Structure 1
Amino acid sequence: MRLRSDIFVSALLRRVFAKGDFAAVEKKGTEEAGAVFIRQHFRDGLETLYGPAPQSLFDDGGSTDRLFEVRLERRPADDVRDMLDRERKFDSDLWIVELEVEEIGDLVPTARRNENPL
């Protein structure tokens, strides 16, 4: 069983604060299973947007961990806002979490695409 969205977000915020960085919930979604999107803010004003990874990127072991993929990388805030607005029209129960960290590191588990499927 996958960790509830509210618990995942709460744990993420605590881990960010423990590193001395800043995090905030921009939009609170469904507590049990709302999709989580993460906006990473950089000092130069650009942002990276992480969204839920597609099921095809999960391993075959039936993992229940949350995985994210980069949706937009180091783009102006308006580009990220536009994409999130489109996502909200599709799914009004999503979460949006903002992180002010230079390095995401192990805070956000990202899916690795297999570049060579053979």
Structure 2
Amino acid sequence: MTTRLRSAVFVAALVRRVFSRGDFAAVEVKGAEEAGAIFVRQIFRDGRESLHAPAPQSLLAPEDRDSRLFETRLDRADAATVAEAIARERRFDGDLWVVAVEADEIGDIIPFAGGEPEDDGFFRR
């Protein structure tokens, strides 16, 4: 059995990986170090945003239970809509993380449930 990466380690690696590509990332909300849920706020050049959230456990295969997989909750919405969704999530879970990523493509940076992102195993442990 594998163990899931701590949230703080996953976020640090995510930010570092974004910067290594020449894009920008920032931690907007720091959550629980060990196991806080991680939300990724993807900001596009046109000002639109997408919100990627942890995929429900029911979408994960048994062998992926220790992985952090994401699903898109909002796709290319206006910034206010994304901010409202994050505020709702924070009222429900005060331990969550929010990472803003300014990049047009992130499928090679975070793994998506049910998708075919480029996966080099970096975040799958």
1:72 alignment partner AA? L
1:39 alignment partner AA? R
Query: 2:95 matched to which residue of 1?
Result: 93
Query: 1:116 matched to which residue of 2?
Result: none
Counterpart-to-counterpart distance in 2, 1:16 and 1:51: 17
1:28 alignment partner AA? K
Aligned length: 113
Identical columns (%):
58
TM-score (norm 2): 0.87
1:107 alignment partner AA? I
Q: What do residues 81-104 of structure 1 show as CA deviations (whole Å, max 9, x unaligned)?
A: 000010000000100000001111
Counterpart-to-counterpart distance in 2, 1:78 and 1:42: 14
RMSD: 1.1
Query: 1:11 matched to which residue of 2?
Result: 13
User: Could you tell me how far 1:61 is from its partner in structure 2?
Assistant: 2.3
Counterpart-to-counterpart distance in 2, 1:94 and 1:73: 20
Q: Tell me if the contact between 2:57 and 2:65 (Cα under 8 Å) persists in the aligned partners.
A: no
Unaligned runs of 5+ in 1: 114-118
List 4+ stretches of structure 1 deviating above 3 A: none
Q: Which of the residues 31, 51, 74 maps onto 2:33? A: 31
Counterpart-to-counterpart distance in 1, 2:95 and 2:65: 23
TM-score (norm 1): 0.92
Unaligned runs of 5+ in 2: 116-125
